[in-house]
Amino acid sequence: MTREATQDPVHYSDWLTLLGFQGEAEAQQHVQGQGVVQITTADEWLSQIKAARDAVSKLTGRLTVQPSVKEFGPEFDARFTQLKSDPTFPEHLIGMKSNRFAMVELAKLHCFQLNVNMEYVDSLVARAPEPSDLPETVKFCLPTRDEVGKTAVIASFNPNTNTFAAVTQNLDFRVAGQMQGEDPITHRAFSGFIYGGGLPQMSVVEYKGMFILKNGYHRAVALLRKKHEFLPCLLLSTDGFQFTGGQAQGFMPIDTIMSDRSPVLADFLSPAAILVARRRLRLMITVHSEAQIIPV
């Protein structure tokens, strides 16, 4: 696996992509859909894709791959109590039948996410703690509210179209719900949306005996590169695949995840992964309002 230089580092960055787990045509389409003038020729891309697919074709027995799990000592109880008291913590528990904090073997976690941004991973490797420093590793993986960095958001409102827009580099930014109220001065009613992030807890979910990394892929790859063996995480279990987080567009299909060649985290550092230049991304939330007269 070698890093290729992007043609335009201002607008493009390298993403490590598990193309070996896709069909040849699907993998080609993925590369071509990144909006980049190809750095290598079509034949070179085909050669890389074939090598990645050949590596995956030799995999077997992945359905029985299970990570070891270790429990935390009482020295972390105060942190976990603080995390559970955060008003956004229940969002992690939707659809779950059990939850606890635990240490889970990193390399054997199954994956549904296809891509990781290597520029971001490199920055995380630079600030990730050493494997011997468990307290700082727990803080890195399971931060409290006051340890979460602020996200820059540029917001604007167009009074001509009654459109609100918010733009951020944080791709985990989201619409988190709706709100209603009354202006205390004019006493006019208002309705709107709550947006932002929650607690960025690294989490693993057990589904039908398979332990799947649910949240924190970039930090997980960074820790793996830094030779960490275990991941401090929120360990969940569910009976519904829709609650694992793996049904979002662009993720691995469930048939791949639940197969005998299921991808695991260590595959990001194997010949199954290919570096692909992708356009830099921003996330934009828009809300538009208009008044309409309708017949009754």
pLDDT category at 262 given cuts 50, 70, 90 is: very high
CB 233 within 8 A of CB 201: yes
pLDDT category at 133 given cuts 50, 70, 90 is: very high
Rounded to the nearest angstrom, the gap between the alpha carbon of residue 178 and the centroid of all alpha carbons in its chain is 24
So what's the pLDDT on residue 4?
Answer: 47
What is the rounded distance in angstroms from the CA atom of residue 243 to the CA atom of residue 240?
6
Residue 7 CB-half CA count within 13 A: 8
pLDDT category at 95 given cuts 50, 70, 90 is: very high
Distances (CA, A) of 257 to 61, 75, 162, 272, 284: 13, 35, 43, 15, 30
The fraction of the chain above a pLDDT of 70, given in percent, is 91
Which range is most confident: 123-137, 154-168, 169-183? 123-137
Percent of the chain as helix, strand, coil, to the nearest 5: 30, 30, 40
What is the rounded distance in angstroms from the CA atom of residue 208 to the CA atom of residue 211?
8
The two structure tokens encoding residue 15: 């993403």
C-alpha triplet 77, 83, 85: angle, nearest 5°: 105
Residue 196 clears pLDDT 70, i.e. is over it: no
Count each helix (H run) and each strand (E run) in the chain, helices first.
Answer: 7, 13
What are the structural domains of the chain?
62-148+199-271 (3.90.1530.10)
Residue 85: which residues within 8 A CB-CB, separation 6 or more?
none
Helix axes 42-57, 24-32, angle to 10 degrees: 130
Residue 88 CB neighbour total at 10 angstroms: 14
Q: Where are the beta strands (DSSP E) in 110-227?
A: 115-117, 153-158, 163-168, 174-182, 189-196, 203-207, 210-215
Residue 39 clears pLDDT 70, i.e. is over it: no
Residue 125 CB neighbour total at 10 angstroms: 17
Residue 35 clears pLDDT 60, i.e. is over it: no
Mean pLDDT over the full length of the chain = 88
When pLDDT is averaged across residues 266-287 and rounded to a whole number, the result is 87
